Structure 1
Amino acid sequence: MTVLVIGASGATGNKLVEQLLIQKHKVKVIVRSPEKLPKSWKTNDNLQIISASLLELSGNEMSEIVHDCNAVASCLGHNLTWKGVYGQPRKLVTDATQRLCDAIKSNNLQSPTKFVLMNTTGNRNRDVYEPISFAQKCVIGLLRLLLPPHVDNEKAADYLRTQIGQKNTSIEWVAVRPDGLINEEEVTDYEIHPSPTRSAIFNAGKVSRINVGHFMASLITNDDLWTKWKGQMPVIYSK
């Protein structure tokens, strides 16, 4: 299996890449600063490093990169700096998701490509009933006004829900929603739910980045798990 990972230099993206490499899959990564990647990656025959800015690639270049990929995973996020939060591109995750999906569709492959998007529990799945308190609605409203990355995450998931949908012949998708991310060295027990079981604002849970990477890799490589969650926005918590 060949998997393209976007956001591989990030704290969660690199965990996903490591999980895929442990399983001996072929991995492609697109990164602007390959010098920041682990040295072991640069000598791994199963890893192809593409040095580029994703949004600056042409449509043809994108199509060529994804043409042999069984799956595409995005762990993109905004840097937690003033420029990263309020500078351009404000729709980094959404634009990347749309361009990658366009590239996948342009290849007219015989079987659908899996697309896994890392999202957030702060974003509701509007395909199902996910009630939240009035207070949380107010806080989310403020986040939409004050934090462009939150709107970006919402719009990226909405693109998959409404534009790709459930019956696309080229793309099947899952949007993984981790709760509060923490760092751990080893994969531990975790649980997956169709919707949040606690308030993402007032009673947030925790999940390690390596557990998120493990779940995303499992979705990509385990067909039974994929069938269970495709077209959905599962929430992950560490136990």
Structure 2
Amino acid sequence: MSKQTTLVLGASGATGKHLVSQLLLLGQSVKVIVRPNAKIPDSWLINDKVSVLRTEISNLSEGELADHIEDCQGLASCLGHNLTWKGIYGAPRKLVSQSVQLLCRAVEKNKSKNPVKLVLMNTAGNQNRDLSEPVSFGEKCLIALIRLLLPPHTDNEAAADFLRIQIGQKHPFIEWVVVRPDTLIDREEVSDYTLHASPSRSALFNPGKTSRINVAHVMAKLIGEKGLWEEWKGQMPVIYNKEIK
């Protein structure tokens, strides 16, 4: 595999840290943008394959971000909202969707010779409306309530919809995949998992489980492996830990 550089947003989070590790295992160089007070592994600071920029993503202009990612072939977002009152209801309420839009504008500004790969971590509770995924009446009612009460869900939907609708399938500079894990759990090692074009179970009434390290593993493989990317680009695969029977 040729040398690649990937930018990771949300790298200080539980999944983002795993993603940086997985990309390094693939031999990639990694750039991370983290909050000024974010805690990151000390090993990143002494690794010449890791470049750390401490700033709020919202503080970067389109041009500044374009300069920062000019040498990146991959972009990955593990951004999310902290499960606290401030994280759920405080600013910025559109952290994920606004960051994805900023990334895309920066890529467009660079006009890269080859399309840049963008991988977004999302949620199985968000439908891929390109596929008209079936949703029961009960799920529709609950989703409507979640949209009303939990702004992060609306933010996740907006981020994925931006890629589906505004970037689409034939953008000259951007290709994308939205990875949808179900209930996230912590594990120390990568385990067997499965990918599905659509949920195989209800994320609301019969959720599956996905370990964060597995999410990171598939995101890294998508960016690093051409075959897997060609299989899933422009789609929103759902990832579940493989159940042991």
Alignment of 1:181-196 (within 5 A): 181-196=184-199
Counterpart of 1:135? 138
**Residue identity in the other structure for 2:39:** K
Aligned to 1:63: 66
User: How do 1:81-100 residues align onto structure 2 when only pairs under 5 Å count?
Assistant: 81-100=84-103
Structure 2 residue 6 is matched with structure 1 residue 3: yes
- Aligned residues: percent identity? 60
> 1:177: which partner in 2?
180
Please give the alpha-carbon distance, in whole angstroms, between the structure 2 residues aligned to 1:51 and 1:182. 27
What SS does the aligned partner of 1:36 have? coil
Which residue does the alignment assign to 1:119?
122
Structure 2 counterpart of 1:47? 50
Structure 2: gaps of 5 or more residues? none
Contact kept? 1:34, 1:49, Cα under 8 Å: no
Q: Shift of residue 60 of structure 1?
A: 1.3
Which one-letter code corresponds to 1:70 in the other structure?
A: Q
Which residue matches 2:227? 224
**Aligned counterparts of 1:138 and 1:167: Cα–Cα separation in 2:** 34
> How many angstroms apart in 2 are the aligned matches of 1:62 and 1:210?
27
Residues 197-212 of structure 1 aligned to structure 2 (within 5 Å):
197-212=200-215
Moved more, 29-38 or 40-49: 29-38
Q: Provide the C-alpha distance between the structure 2 equivalents of 1:146 and 1:34, rounded to a whole number of angstroms.
A: 29
Q: Does 1:151 align with 2:143?
A: no
Q: Deviations over 1:134-185 (max 9, x none)?
A: 1111110000000000000000000000000000010000000000000000
Bigger mean CA deviation after superposition, 209-218 or 32-41: 32-41
- Report the 3-state secondary structure (helix = DSSP H, G, I; strand = E; otherwise coil) of the residue aligned with 1:93: helix
Deviations 1:196-236 (A, max 9, x none): 00000000000100000000000000000000000000000
How far 1:34 sits from its partner (Å)? 5.8
1:66 shift after superposition: 1.0
Alignment partner of 1:117: what SS? strand
Q: Tell me the amino acid that sits aligned with residue 238 of structure 1.
A: N
| Alpha-carbon RMSD | 0.8
Aligned residues, how many? 239
Q: Letter of the 2:232 partner, please give it.
A: W
- Compute the TM-score of the two structures, normalised by the length of structure 2: 0.96
CA distance in 1, matches of 2:142, 2:183: 16
Give 1:33 shift: 3.4
In the alignment, does 2:64 pair up with 1:75?
A: no
In structure 1, stretches of 5+ residues that fail to align are none
* Structure 2 contact 177–234 (Cα < 8 Å) conserved: yes
1:35 deviates by: 5.4
Instruction: Report the counterpart of residue 163 of structure 1 in structure 2.
Output: 166
Structure 1 residue matching 2:14: 3-state secondary structure: coil
Cα contact 1:72–1:114 (8 A) shared by 2: yes
For 1:72, give the aligned amino acid.
Answer: L
Question: Any idea what the Cα deviations from partners look like across 1:50-97, whole Å, max 9, x if unmatched?
Answer: 011001111211110111100100000001111110011110000000
